[in-house]
Amino acid sequence: MMNTRHFLIVNLFLVVQITIFSLFLDYNIADAMEHINIAIASFFLNLTVFADSIFNNLLWVIALSSVIALILFFFQKHRMYSISILVSLLTLFSCTFATNILKHAVKRQRPGVYLEMQRNESQSEGRDYSFPSAHTALYMGFFFPFTYVFGKKYHFGILLFPSLIALGRIILNEHFVSDVLFSFLLVFNVSYILMAFFKKISGNKKYICA
């Protein structure tokens, strides 16, 4: 698990990136996404629909994850995996809840709605807001905590699927880049704090891999 210095550096880097994109690049990228290849857009749309069809009913995800976590908890050498599942569920729910609160507090229009209003094609607001990305919070919140207990060689495989979902939200013009980056920032902080907490109460550094 990264030390406090690295944790703060990553936070600073993400905050700077979010600021740059929100002030200077978000709208230009959104405009460019309007002209994205239809095959690419279809791929990301189908991927999102597939992912949502699995996660829409979170009850079975929670039940299955809880059962696995409970079983692993009773095996000393596998207890770190039990902790990672628990942190995954806690991160998923807390970040999804936070994004829904922030959406209605910030009330940032989605890129597609913004571009329509700029072209005077529509003066009506969208039914949902853009900032931050709930999809990114959901899928990153579920998968990212596992990077703390699996070695770096597994990180690409763990993060590939949620990263594609996050990228798809930008390509489909459902979110600005800064929306997605902020959700990742939220997931990163919540999961780190939870992992640090469980590392402390476990009293065993082996539970959390570097």
Residue 117: the pLDDT is 74
The answer to whether 26 touches 177, Cβ cutoff 8 Å, is: yes
| pLDDT at residue 118 greater than cutoff 90 | no
In this predicted model, which residue has the larger pLDDT, 138 or 69?
Answer: 138
Residue 17: the pLDDT is 97
User: Where does the pLDDT of residue 209 fall: very low under 50, low under 70, confident under 90, or very high at 90 and above?
Assistant: very low
| pLDDT at residue 60 greater than cutoff 80 | no
User: Where does the pLDDT of residue 163 fall: very low under 50, low under 70, confident under 90, or very high at 90 and above?
Assistant: very high
In this predicted model, which residue has the larger pLDDT, 22 or 149?
Answer: 22
Distances (CA, A) of 148 to 5, 14, 80, 91, 179: 16, 19, 10, 13, 24
**Token pair belonging to 203:** 């009293």
| pLDDT at residue 126 greater than cutoff 70 | no
Angle at 68 between CA 207 and CA 88, to 5 degrees: 60
Residue 125: the pLDDT is 57
Q: How far is CA 80 from the centre of its chain?
A: 22
In this predicted model, which residue has the larger pLDDT, 161 or 71?
Answer: 161
The reported pTM is 0.87
- Average pLDDT of the chain to the nearest whole number: 85
Give me the percent of the chain exceeding a pLDDT of 90. 55
For 47-106, what is the HEC assignment?
HHHHHHHHHCCHHHHHHHHHHHHHHHHCCHHHHHHHHHHHHHHHHHHHHHHHHHHHHHHH
| pLDDT at residue 154 greater than cutoff 70 | yes
- Which domain, by its residues, includes 60? 4-207
Counting Cβ atoms within 10 Å, is residue 173 exposed (0-12), middle (13-18) or buried (19+)? Answer: buried
Residue 23: the pLDDT is 95
**Token pair belonging to 136:** 């990114």
Split into its structural domains, the chain has a count of 1
Q: What are phi and psi of 15, to 5 degrees?
A: -65, -40
Residue 16: the pLDDT is 97
